Amino acid sequence: MSMTSKTVETVMGAVVLLGGLAALYTAYASSQIKTVEGYKVTLKFNKVGGLQEGNAVRIGGLQVGTLVEQKLDPQTYDAVLELSIRSDVKLPKDTEAEVSSDGLLGGKFLLLNPGKSKEMIPPGGTIENTKGVIALEEMVGRMIFSTAQQPK
């Protein structure tokens, strides 16, 4: 190998490395990964489906909060989640929460669907309406089972 080909390979390797770092930075910057400071709200789920502390809380695709703590209720064995919601976002009492994801391989987040109630959830309040999580494996299993049960 000549000196010129080694130099070209080194430069190309550096370009590929810089391109990869730029892609990682862009993905991180556009992912809205940040802790939202605001008022605290709690809710309970029977399954959290892979949610983790630091995951986003969204309304209409926009981040309005952050999941700040998870713990287990020792009596009901439900997952108790504590959220931090932006102080300029007021949630109606009948807001519904569900675990969602950014596609099949995307990260998990908590989706809030605000209701129509005139009464708002106060700081330290609770979101009562939660939708249980159905794992992808369960959905595929149900689909296969229902297809197998159909008469021919």
Q: Which of 8-22, 53-67, 80-94 has the lowest mean pLDDT?
A: 8-22
The SS3 call for residue 53 is coil
Q: CA 48, 51, 53, 58: dihedral to nearest 10 degrees?
A: -100
Is 65's pLDDT higher than 80?
Answer: yes
Q: Rounded mean pLDDT of 48-63? A: 90
- Report the C-alpha gap between 25 and 31 in whole angstroms: 10
Per-residue model confidence (pLDDT) at position 47: 84
Is 104's pLDDT higher than 70?
Answer: no
- Of the ranges 3-7, 10-14, 98-102, 117-121, the best mean pLDDT one: 117-121
The SS3 call for residue 64 is strand
Q: Rounded mean pLDDT of 126-140? A: 75
DSSP code of 12?
H
- Report the C-alpha gap between 143 and 42 in whole angstroms: 33
Q: Which of 30-34, 36-40, 128-132 has the lowest mean pLDDT?
A: 30-34
Of 48, 63, 65, residue with least CA distance to 108: 48
